[in-house]
Structure 1
Amino acid sequence: MNKAAENLTGRKLKNVLGMKINEIYDIRDDTTKDKMPSHFEKVLQKGEQINDRDHKLLISKNGNELLIEYSAAPVRDKRGNVTGMILVFRDSTEKIERLKQVEYLSLHDHMTGLYNRRYMHDSIKRLDTRRNLPFSMIYMDLNGLKLINDSLGHEMGDRLIVSVANVLRDMLRSDDIVGRLGGDEFLILLPRTDNEGAEKISERILKAISETKAGSLVPSVAVGSAVKTEEDQNIYDVLKRAESSMYRNKLKSGKMMRNTIVENLIRLTESKHAAVQDHSKRVMGFCERIANAMDLSDRETADLKTTALLHNIGEIVIPASLLNKPDKLTEEEYEQIKMHSEKGYQILKSIDEYAALAESVLQHHERWDGKGYPEGLKEGDILLHSRIINVADAYEAMTSDRPYKRAISREEAIEELKKCRGKQFDPDIVDIFIDKVLLKKESPADTAIC
């Protein structure tokens, strides 16, 4: 018995002389903690060797518990008679912890800590029994995740996912099982829960999620449920019905949800850029007046106004320190600023309601002479709405204070537009803007009567 054995057992060698070996080494089942039958006698009496890789509990004299693996081998004399035994204990705590971690990761989603797809599908099979009827499922989808990832980055998207997971974990009952199937999808299994119960839980989930926040954003989810009531119903058909119900609800609320996200993005963009509060709204106002002067249709005018409102939405990815920098930008910083056109295009292209406007946002910094960005288009190759926004945007920027410059007068801005006419700007749009918008004399009909 060496020093390590003394430490593990809490006994000194001098105090164990004469004791039975199973009294010295108190080995128990690690789950039940029942005392294990001693196998050491087999070594001493029969000369058998033991190599037990299944971890057990070694209980010390002081009651301390240690997870171990052990092996025992006989010691023989020259004649082959067993005269003793070599007993080796190995502390398996770290090994078991690693195994538990591997097992945990194999069953749980690494981001949220909820159960993963594999565990959820195993649970569906395990719970699909008569005693769990009625067996309900709630299928959930996080709205607008791709849009958030594209606009605010995957870190914000991950924060939304985790915030929803935390709500689900905190509010469900002990018998309920919740997991993340992957991406933006979640599943809740509700044994012994009827349709009414599932709908009440869905309502509580929607309310709780609407009251939580991830940064400045409130998550939004689509929810659908289905219930198995008869033993002969296929459980995976029930899962499909829950998913289909979720998608129907997603279609109903999807447009409103996406509009809300876009409004939040506009608000967040302008809050980052201290000097341009309501810039996009003013540009939209100028664009509407140009459209009226050009006799554009109501539909074209409406699309132009929406595009003007969204033209800088890509600035959501630009650091506020660059947008508000009072000094001249470096070449590298300017290249970063220029990314906003492409980023705005990507954001709008991912939203059905705004996809048709994405190209105009992409091109709103193209120049008439082909020296703009991002594609270097020129003249009529640039979309009409982009050419209109280019003029309105430049005029609004010139006549408003910026961190790097003071506003100039209307007259000075008009002279600048004329100077850049046919170079930066479409000459016809410049003429219309100056003559029919900026210098237009108010008629009696245009003057409000108080």
Structure 2
Amino acid sequence: MVISACRGLFALYIGEFGLLFYFLFALVISILLTYFFVSLVRIYETKMKRGLFFGYKDAVFQDIDSPIIAFNKRDKIFFVNNSARKFIADLYGGWKDEYEKNIMLQDFISKINDDYKADTFDGDCYFKWSYSTGGMQAEKNVTYRIVRDMNEKIMCKYFMFSDSQEDVDSVTGFRIWDTFKHHMQMSDISFPAGVIAFDLNRLSIINDKYGKQEGDKLLALVASAMVKKCPKKTFFAKSYSSCLIAICCDTDVRVLETIKEEIKHFVYDNVHLPEPIHIQSSVVELGLMSQNLANAVDMAIKVLKKKNMLDDKAKHSSLIDSFIKMQLTAFPDLMAHVHRTKILCHMLGKRLELTDIQQSDLELLCLIHDIGKTGVPPSILHKADKYTVQEWDIMKSHVYKGHDIAIASEEFEDVAQCIKYHHENYDGTGYPEGLKGESIPLLSRIIAVVDAYDAMINDRPYRKAYSITKARQELKAYAGLQFDPHIVDEFVKMLEEIAPSDYEEDEEGNRLSSGFRPMGTMGEVEEDRHVNNVLYSNYVIDGEQNIISVDNVFTQITGYTPDDVKVLKLKQDDLIFDEDKKLYNEKVAELLSKFNEVYLKHRMRCKDGSERIVFCYGRFKFTPDSDKITSKITITDITDSELAGKVNKNEDYKLQINEFERDGLTGVLTFKSFDKTAKNIVQTSLKDYLICHVDIDDFYDYNKNHDKGDVQDILKNLAQCINKISGKDSLVGRVGEDRFVVLYELEPGHDNANSKAIVSELWGAIMDYLGANDSSLTVSVGAYKLISGQDSLDQAYEKSLEALLKSKENGKNCYHLI
């Protein structure tokens, strides 16, 4: 009965309050679920905000050499990289797994900072820590950083330790270049090698817009990509705020170009920002130029800055903007012209295998090569009729004006010479100085071809635009006269391999539309090796100067068949006349001391002993399959071309070294040329060398008491004597008024006795010459043996000068060897 009553009351309660009960039950469940999901979101956000370590610690921080130890916002340790485990083991007398859970911030600080003060670690700080290891005192740099979220709440705190001489960037883990460069030498590098540099455009804007932690994540992402993609033997460093550097060993520069693009694509694919980012990059080759490592890195950074200045996606420098505005007043269609020439120059530069540096300079040249025309009166600049002599002189002055404008700016000084000489003709009939052939800067020769082509196919005040067919015919007709024949040949072939719809024509040669498109189904390009009756051939040599492959045209020019090349084991030297070899090798070495390529004119010795006059272009390349460096050589035979008749008919076609490279009085190398050439020889060889300084004793008194002509005769004859005694494989230069320097290559196993014999023979032969000519003069000689891998050329100079001073102290008229 009671039970029945209870059941009735419960049923009545459910009927009266059931709706309210279900509502309250659903509300409680909703609150619990909401709390659960909010907690998950907060945990996820916390993990994301701590991404400075969790997001990329395995990619960058875990494996770098510097110890990194991080603490959470409750001051408990939560991250220790591999290097830090050993570090903590040394600090605490052994490693235990619980250390990674139980070490507290204050306890850790007390271990590394005896002068611990709580307020010292309220913000980022940097200090040096001295400690004992193995019974010796050592020192480390300590960087302490507090990482905060966008609301300024603390996410974590971390320490990074680095050797005293090697500061480390706390975001990327890369060495700071300003300190690292003082401890790294060229001897650390294994070749082939190169430098890749990256710069994040607008990083400061990302920091301002999304917070510095997002900028740091992006910088660390680039660092992570570099670590993943670069070769095993790579040295990483950070330069200015957003510039990261990789010094890559055992890798050809062409492979580095591919790696550079892979790194950029990796970053673009993995970055998560509301707006696109842009990364600028550059590659500089190491090992073929006589430069040190710091110069190569500085060059890579310089190229980055130049690319940033020219980048359409980045903000141009105010100087670039002002230059553009200056030119727009004179050329309203300037930007269209620049756009067209930039596209063509970029394509041609790739075809000619220009370096990253040259490509950047060529792009800049497209923009400002005619900047000097802003100083020419508009009445002359846009005149449709023929210029008077006076007007033509004013017009030609624009190259000097352009040069002066460019040389005054650090941003443009590298292309100032190219601006000055971009109207020089290949046969020497151009202006302002009548330079010819390879003495005209390469970029000037390239812009001359591209600029002339674009000018021909567009209207000018004095004529209508040429058809494409006629423009190409004009280029071919003037190849070897106005234009470099090799560049014209490559440019014309390039135009045939693309179908610029900007240049599409109907059957009568009239243009139809604008823009560029691929060649599509236009068919194969006809193989044509003749431009203005100039024949050229390509062949390849290895590092020992052996010719390893030739084309069919090689036989037409030289007479040597592919079978001859194999059977005779033909070398590059076999194509040079004996009397030219010394000068040829000096010139090649001198060019390689400044560039990664060689471009010169010389006599070529054919199989039958006859000579051909050729322009020779050579560039080093790396073959990954064989792991060897080779050189691709292109020779252009101009013996029977119009160019040969156009050049001074009395010219001796033997290889010439320009006046500025040789001393005008004695004919030996100037010291500047000697130094560059010798450094290239020494740095790219494993052989030992002997440096000798030859100085005339009491020359001041002799010069004062004799006629100028007699003094000059003595110097000229003495130089010839030294040249003859030294032999064709040695290098001779003039230092100052009466001193000469000689570089001898020593044979393997050469000892001090042999070196002394060489110095004695040199000194004795000079004294015999002076005695035979009834001269009262004597000479002193100082010499030093340069050991490969131990001494630099500069050190050898100093030592040989010390030896020369010793000879003077010993009474002069003698020699001394250190």
Instruction: Calculate the TM-score normalised by the size of structure 2.
Output: 0.22
Between 1 and 2, higher relative CO (CA 8 Å, sep ≥ 6) is seen in 1
Higher helix share: 1
Higher strand share: 2
